[in-house]
Structure 1
Amino acid sequence: MSSTVADMVHNGEWAWPNTWVNRFPALENLPNVVLNSEAQDRIVWRSREGADMEYSTYVVWDDIRQMQDQAPWARIVWFPQAIPRHAFLMWFLVCKKLKTQDMMSRWGLNYNLMCCSLCMSGPDSHEHIFFKCSFASQIWNGVRDKADMGSIEENWEDIFDYLLQHAESNRANHIIGKLVVGATAYFVWQERNNRLFSTKKRNAANLIEVILTTIRMKLHTMKFKRTSRVNQVLLEWKLPRALLMVKMNAANKLQV
């Protein structure tokens, strides 16, 4: 581990240990090098375009990974004001990768298990839990007005379409909408798991209060542009006017 490049070169030719060559035959095909005795060894990454740059794990990962265009829903999930654990679950939800029982049934599990643990009547599926389930719909109906989404029904496709339309917006009500949907999905999924794997239960009113309290605490960490519409947001969420800022100068400040 303490060897330098110079230790591996004799008379201008590579002198790899036999054990290395046996394990990595490609070493024999490396072109010989001309060393500058006055230069110090350093690690350089040569990109796929042939450019030499300072080595870092970020540079390597960014160079070898498969590049794709950003998904149109990316800003629904990942945005500066997002609550990380909620964003992580939203990522699974948007991609429909949550392990609901309709998905697990494909692994050969008993079909009799496929019952929603929240309402005990519908299927345990993405479409049902978010938020067609009678229990989950109570929660959505209890928080959607706070997100200025009172007209959006308890249907994931409608909710997703609304968020997608405003994914790039920095308006306060649109940021709050994303926070409310993320928190609602997170706590509904958490309650689903609690009921499925334990005897713990919370009623809809408890969960609504938990969701609104969580969002209110998050809003306390933000700064808002001083407008009449923001004043209404502060009043609606019972937030102090100290959160108002005259000048926008931070990534997580909201505008209307």
Structure 2
Amino acid sequence: METRNHLFFECNYSKTVWKEVLSLCSLQRSPRQWNFVLQWPVLKLTGKALISIVLWLAWGAFFYWIWRERNCRIFGNTRLSEKVILEKIKDAVLMSLSGTRIRSDEIVNNRICIAWGIE
């Protein structure tokens, strides 16, 4: 039975992708229920810190690409690997951040810039 919890947080495919996204931000969280996951960024990802901005962007891209992958599998009979989806999420984040001035001399920002390939 396909539910939003299953699609985004319970199936191994999306779990793997989301854990990799969090790993790029040096975070470890287990995806849980839909309502909990929706509350987490609202409560925790505030302010203008680079990690907050990157996670907001990655969060949106994650939902988009997982939903798109689901539709491609159902209606187009095509599949992309978790690695390819992660690269598409990274590309979306990088595109959104292009032209943004980032203080990469800060330790946390530097780590994020290296992991995400932000120049």
Could you tell me which amino acid in structure 2 is paired with residue 215 of structure 1?
V
Q: Is the 8 A contact 2:19 2:29 kept in 1?
A: no
Q: Is the 8 A contact 2:46 2:52 kept in 1?
A: no
Q: Is the 8 A contact 1:152 1:158 kept in 2?
A: no
How does the TM-score come out when normalised to structure 1? 0.42
Counterpart of 1:153 in structure 2 is 30
CA–CA distance in structure 2, aligned partners of residues 204 and 173 of structure 1 = 22
Could you tell me which amino acid in structure 2 is paired with residue 191 of structure 1?
E
Cα deviation for residue 167 of structure 1 reads 4.7
Q: Is the 8 A contact 2:17 2:85 kept in 1?
A: yes
Cα deviation for residue 232 of structure 1 reads 2.9
Q: For structure 2, which runs of at least 5 residues remain unmatched after alignment? A: none
**CA-atom RMSD in angstroms:** 2.0
How does the TM-score come out when normalised to structure 2? 0.82
Q: For structure 1, which runs of at least 5 residues remain unmatched after alignment? A: 1-122, 241-256
Q: Which structure shows the higher strand fraction?
A: 1
Cα deviation for residue 231 of structure 1 reads 2.8
Counterpart of 1:224 in structure 2 is 102
Could you tell me which amino acid in structure 2 is paired with residue 233 of structure 1?
I
Q: Is the 8 A contact 1:152 1:159 kept in 2?
A: no
Identity %: 21
1:131 aligned onto 2:13: no
CA–CA distance in structure 1, aligned partners of residues 81 and 112 of structure 2 = 27
- Residue correspondences, number: 117
Counterpart of 1:235 in structure 2 is 114
Could you tell me which amino acid in structure 2 is paired with residue 125 of structure 1?
T
Counterpart of 1:194 in structure 2 is 72
* Cα 1:138–1:226 shift into 2, 3 Å: closer
Structure 2 counterpart SS, 1:223: coil
* Cα 1:213–1:188 shift into 2, 3 Å: same
Could you tell me which amino acid in structure 2 is paired with residue 131 of structure 1?
F
The equivalent position to 1:172 in structure 2, one of 50, 63, 75, is 50
Structure 1 counterpart SS, 2:30: coil
Q: Which structure shows the higher helix fraction?
A: 2
Can you list the C-alpha shifts for 1:137-181, whole angstroms capped at 9, x where unaligned? 121122111234x32212234432320113542111011111111
Q: Is the 8 A contact 2:104 2:113 kept in 1?
A: no
Considering Cα pairs closer than 8 Å and 6+ residues apart, tell me whether 1 or 2 has the greater RCO: 2
Cα deviation for residue 199 of structure 1 reads 1.3
Cα deviation for residue 221 of structure 1 reads 2.8
Q: Is the 8 A contact 2:20 2:86 kept in 1?
A: yes
* Cα 1:173–1:196 shift into 2, 3 Å: same
